Structure 1
């Protein structure tokens, strides 16, 4: 496949590429593999974590389960007094959904259902009456991992209004009783794990571990009177991962020398498990990024505590996660003076209580990167009576001490099975990510 940077894309081609990326990434494990595959097509070398990290010029990528980290090293030699600085785009590969429980298959009144556990904070009602796929990974008894992505085969049906006349006055969904999808019918009970195993050429008996989620089967698409909107599942946060992939892909072809200025090492760090708190071996609260940064510096001969502190002190992390556009039917839920709109630019996310890590210095830097990319930006801050969520930004900043700025494209229907944004905004994020990677 041809791999191009955001500057080489029109809005249409960028959204087509984003659609392909999202479609190829139904689970965090698929997203990490698709990221690595695309970067390998751009000339990056995939590393095994058990091997030494190289110091030679080139692009490198590491996959750990559902997380992926990639970076591009300049050519030439570091001067004796030179220390590099990292420009890290932080994002996450997971999205709110439903995950298969152990022993998931049940049968009630001739309907075969899959037992699921709620993952993160999905808008549960948005998953009703949709054609759903299963996706994720199966682990066979020989220790091999098999990625699986089925065709549409499940549905969480609503109760007909004739059986609940008050449903339009308030829908209540019990997480244990009302959210298990139907996947087949018949008096002879079916087993969902048998069906999933068959998709990858295994038997159910050969599957000894599984991480399987539900996804909406509908493909991403533009809509609106002038096609000014874009709708998709998992925009939060694959739009940010894709921005990092497309921006980073252009750097391996350039490979500038370190030169006389402070060298910049662009990096994408896409974590798993953000939607459930980031506290895992592949989450932002875990050791993944810290370990990889340390190993890169060690390969470059930067080993003292003082040197490493100076490197991290000169580095930046752009925490890219989605934010909220003003909702026209609920405008009172937003801050009175800050109403982000579709196609009006990337959001700069600000919170006095450090739910986002942006400060004044970071805001000024983001303004500079947007100016270099020639894209607009707009501030997002919450209504004081509506607490905001958080991101990997404060977690990574606390763990690493790297100055961090929280940004992202704006959405309506965040955490829905199908979210929406302005059609121009994903490419704007890709362009500002390229400018961020490019230097000061």
Structure 2
């Protein structure tokens, strides 16, 4: 064996897929992905998008069919395609999450102060608070009225819409703030969203100014959506970055957007499922909510939604098979993004075990923090099987950890599937500026991730 064959180096996907055919496919996929990101800024919008695409592809909610889906509370979703082999021989499962860090309106959000109408927020997930200041923001979500009517909110995306913002302190008065540690310089209770400024017309002989700006905000919302203040108690209003996803760089080779984490895996997982037809094993793709806050609740990965759905699949496709047998024989991928090596912050990475943008999706054998606490830690046999699968198909990939051992950490849904006994590993593309309002991904990695997921699903 030649000496260079003894070594491993990850491959640059741009060089592996340099033909005109592949570059054209990359561009076409990236254009559709940017449209998806622009349209899908909440988990509800994402699930609605997937439902529409899946329905057009022949998936139904009737589990007697061979291509099925199920939606839970409008926020999490399962899709399945029947394989040639029985369920008892296991499934190929790919799970991603469709929620993303953001600001949520509080239950009682509206108030006014200093001649400004504002909304109180509570941040969702791991944000860096200063990144949400002094930038255009949009409102997305739903409001459920007392009579059960659901109103969809989307303000700030159309060219004629107003946008919203969180105010920042001028540098002339920020000397004291600048001396504080970053964790204390920006207070969560000051992430208040500007909603308006002009007061409502005076009501009869009442010449008081108190509350008129808030009343004007409510009047405008009532005119647009027919709501009153009490309706905010049964609302889910999310504050997200306004504007479309964009190509980045003179060559357009990078993709910039809110919520690559983890909608890039939702999109590529869906694309892979739709093109990996006639599978050997049954294919299941799951899109979860609540990953960014610990996978809690009835729509998170800790819920029993997956179990219940799989039980119904067994009843429809292979009655009498034990659920435990299906799960124990299954292979799974936790499709989630990885923190790529940032040229300006290389010191937080251990370079031998860091990932590079453009070198394909990343196997992350374990997440957790410090001493692998709360990690799944995939088994060597499974990693070897996946390596062989992708190498045989000629698909680039890389292996990395999140960063230096004692500098932080994170978690994914992998450990919540590992409890069933199935093999699972985290596997997804690198992203820069993760959890920021404008994350960066590689157009090449988008394409390669789709190919890798498709190879896994049809294995």
- Shorter-chain TM-score tier: 0.7 to 0.9
Question: Is 2:296 aligned against 1:279?
Answer: yes
Once the 2 structures are TM-superposed, how far is the Cα of residue 438 of structure 1 from its aligned partner?
0.4
More helix, by proportion: 2
Q: Match for residue 88 of structure 1?
A: 93
Q: Kindly tell me: are residues 227 and 115 of structure 1, through their superposed partners in 2, closer, same or farther at Cα, counting changes over 3 Å?
A: same
Between the two proteins, the alignment pairs up a number of residues equal to: 411
Aligned pairs for 1:58-137 (under 5 A) are: 58-74=67-83, 83-137=88-142
**Matches of 1:424 and 1:41, distance apart in 2:** 27
**Matches of 1:28 and 1:294, distance apart in 2:** 25
Can you list the C-alpha shifts for 1:195-214, whole angstroms capped at 9, x where unaligned?
55654x43326846111111
**Matches of 1:193 and 1:379, distance apart in 2:** 52
Question: Is 2:430 aligned against 1:433?
Answer: no
SS of match in other structure, 1:391: coil
Q: Kindly tell me: are residues 240 and 74 of structure 1, through their superposed partners in 2, closer, same or farther at Cα, counting changes over 3 Å?
A: same
Which of 1 and 2 has greater Rg?
2
How high is the TM-score relative to the length of structure 1?
Answer: 0.86
Q: Kindly tell me: are residues 36 and 372 of structure 1, through their superposed partners in 2, closer, same or farther at Cα, counting changes over 3 Å?
A: farther
**Matches of 1:250 and 1:109, distance apart in 2:** 56
CA RMSD of aligned residues (A): 2.5
Q: Match for residue 413 of structure 1?
A: 433
Aligned pairs for 1:36-435 (under 5 A) are: 36-45=51-60, 47=61, 54-74=63-83, 83-151=88-156, 152-165=162-175, 172-176=185-189, 178-187=190-199, 188-190=212-214, 195=220, 198-199=223-224, 201-204=225-228, 207=231, 209-251=234-276, 254-255=277-278, 263-305=280-322, 308-351=323-366, 352-353=372-373, 355-381=375-401, 382-398=403-419, 400-435=420-455
SS of match in other structure, 1:10: helix
SS of match in other structure, 1:118: strand
CA contact (8 A) 2:363 2:399 kept: yes
**Matches of 1:371 and 1:365, distance apart in 2:** 10
CA contact (8 A) 1:274 1:283 kept: yes
**Worse overlay, 61-70 or 95-104:** 61-70
How high is the TM-score relative to the length of structure 2?
Answer: 0.83
5+ long unaligned stretches in structure 2: 1-21, 157-161, 200-211, 367-371
CA contact (8 A) 1:373 1:431 kept: no
5+ long unaligned stretches in structure 1: 1-6, 48-52, 257-262
Can you list the C-alpha shifts for 1:211-263, whole angstroms capped at 9, x where unaligned?
11111013111222432221100110111111111112235xx456xxxxxx4
CA contact (8 A) 1:33 1:63 kept: no
Q: Kindly tell me: are residues 326 and 255 of structure 1, through their superposed partners in 2, closer, same or farther at Cα, counting changes over 3 Å?
A: closer
